Amino acid sequence: MAVADMNIRDRSRPMTGEERKVIMASSAGTIFEWYDFYLYGSLAAIIGAQFFTAFPEATRNVFALLAFAAGFIVRPFGALVFGALGDIVGRKYTFLMTILIMGLSTFLVGMLPSYSSWGAAAPVILIILRMLQGLALGGEYGGAAVYVAEHAPANRRGYFTSFIQTTATLGLLLSLIVILAVQGYVNANWAPTAVLDAAGAAVLNPDGSPKMIKAFDLWGWRIPFLASILLLAISLYIRLQMNESPAFKKMKEEGAASKAPLREAFGTWKNGKIALIALFGLVAGQAVVWYSGQFYALFFIQNVVKVDSFTANVLVAWSLILGTGGFVFFGSLSDRIGRKPIILAGCAIAALTYSFVFPLLTRTANPALHAAQQTPVTVTASPEDCSFQFNPTGTAKFTSSCDIAKATLARNSVNYQSVEDAAATVAQIKIGDTVIPAYDGAALTGDDLKNATAAFNKGVNDALTAAGYPLSADANTSVVKAAHFFDIFTGQKITVVLILTYLIVLVTMVYGPIAAMLVELFPTRIRYSGLSLPYHIGNGWFGGLMPATAFAISAQTGNVYGGLWYPIVIAAATVVIGALFVPGGTHKKDIFADDAR
């Protein structure tokens, strides 16, 4: 092939048709892989209700997000395994392995029985499948970024790698569109079903009406996972048509490939220092901005702002449609002014504006809830009675009166202040002028526990209703609601879409140029391994754990916006570290200059 015979350093020429073909094929396959991975993120709340039913609702939300994060936690290990393989055996064959693992794991999630059928085995297997997805993704991104950059003209690396950067967002968008289509069809053709508790009794809403579950939430959510088997077949076909990177082929022919890429990439201070600078001066901030703008925003408007899942998906999908072009814009801009200024500017703007943007999202999307949150609410309890309600292992039981009080308020998106009273024997909630005593869940059993729970919940619900909290979603006429995908042309919905689009634009600033920047930091022989590890530690740990961590912080502080300090602090730290230590002008670098041995 002509690509294999060319001088790989001659990159000022236009890209050939064959090169465009393999790059677009790489991007298409990567979109499908991200689609597989983000199906879970888009359906986290629904899946949590199916697989974590043994836990209270507040804890269930944390578990659902942690299961989502499990796929990110293992990504650095996938980066080590597949990064080494990519530097030793080649980019193309590593692609084939990652897509096969990802596709089969996604299909099996759709087949997995729920907690009610398999008990504790169901969530355990779910998390294992998520970890397999994370391992596959750990090898995917580095290979895609390297593959495209090694084909692209030197003066347009940012532009061409930005198409790889769009694949994550396009994969999310594709997952949302498929979910919306399936959700609309299933719910239109199958009636809702009454929700039953473990004893078979009907579960009631705060107003006493039976709680119903829609057909999509009960079983229809499995269809997008099962349908991914078709995307797997398409992706495998695309990957089989791809050609190996010309730079890698030339290096193999000359015997210059690394025999121990991990040791060479991280075993010396020269290269190890680059990885650390990339992690803390670029990727950590990029990661929290990316996940705040896409996944935490989706979780926030569903679970905190109380927008129904269909409307939330519609609004986020439109923001992705409007904002995705920013990846290509900022990637191309980075070819002219450099990568570092754009990435750090995106982190700085996010750190400065998040504390304003998310409250604005609440005020716009659910005015009644925002107005009710202005009512003073306090929880008075002994400090010894209160726990930090973050339970990743599922072994802790939060039954104290303080924990029950705080969990109840968090579940209803109530902002509250904690007041310490060492003499208090039972926690008390004060909503406006109404005081509701909680109860000690560990000291009661049987009917006593049931009656105490019912009385407490009624007292809280009545007080919250009197304070203006819209506890019944159907009765809340102020909350944003879309009837179908194109039902966005009202002032409220357009404003929400614009707010979400602003968050996406910040994502494109930090993410559009990052692939080219990371490629330019490492030589060809260890490029796959070198950039994969810091990228996946940053996005897998700093970013992937962001939703669960932010939710836990919010529940602990009593402020629904308290968790935003996590991305704000990390983004700000990245700005400082990046400004001091990340090299500038890498967009002018010859990425093959260090290949000679």
HEC profile for 155-200?
HHHHHHHHHHHHHHHHHHHHHHHHHHHHHHHHHHHCCCEECECCCC
Q: Where are the alpha helices (DSSP H) in 381-525?
A: 401-411, 446-466, 491-511, 514-521
pLDDT mean over 208-221: 88
Above 70 in pLDDT, residue 198?
A: no
The closest of 127, 167, 124 to 145, measured between CA atoms, is 167
Q: Which residues pair with 213 in a beta bridge?
A: 193
Burial 585-595 (b: 16+ CB within 10 A, else e): ebbeeebbeeb
Q: What's the Cα-to-Cα distance from 508 to each of 3, 159, 386, rounded to whole Å? A: 31, 13, 41
Above 70 in pLDDT, residue 22?
A: no
Q: What's the Cα-to-Cα distance from 382 to each of 179, 390, 402, 426, 444, rounded to whole Å? A: 45, 19, 8, 8, 19
State the chain's mean pLDDT as an integer: 84
Angle between helix 339-365 and 565-581 (nearest 10): 170
Task: Work out the pLDDT band at 455, boundaries 50, 70, 90.
Answer: very high
Q: Where are the alpha helices (DSSP H) in 324-445?
A: 325-337, 339-365, 367-372, 401-411
pLDDT mean over 498-502: 97
User: Model confidence over 63-87: pLDDT tens digits?
Assistant: 666 676 677 778 888 888 888 887 7
| Res 65: pLDDT | 62
In total, the chain counts a number of residues equal to 597
Above 80 in pLDDT, residue 375?
A: yes
Cα separation, 33 vs 256, whole angstroms: 31
pLDDT mean over 484-508: 96
Residue type, 592: F
pLDDT mean over 262-275: 80
User: Model confidence over 83-132: pLDDT tens digits?
Assistant: 888 777 777 778 788 888 888 998 999 999 988 888 878 888 888 888 88
Cα separation, 339 vs 351, whole angstroms: 19
The pairing of beta strand 428-431 with beta strand 377-381:
antiparallel
Answer for the pair 285, 141: CB distance below 8 angstroms, yes or no: no
Provide the 3-class DSSP secondary structure of residue 302: helix
pTM of the model: 0.81
DSSP single-letter state for residue 103: H
Cα separation, 565 vs 552, whole angstroms: 12
The pairing of beta strand 417-420 with beta strand 377-381:
parallel
The more confidently predicted of residues 383 and 514 is: 514
In this structure, of 140-154, 301-315, 402-416, 444-458, the range with the lowest mean pLDDT score is: 140-154
Q: What's the Cα-to-Cα distance from 428 to each of 171, 439, 450, rounded to whole Å? A: 46, 9, 19
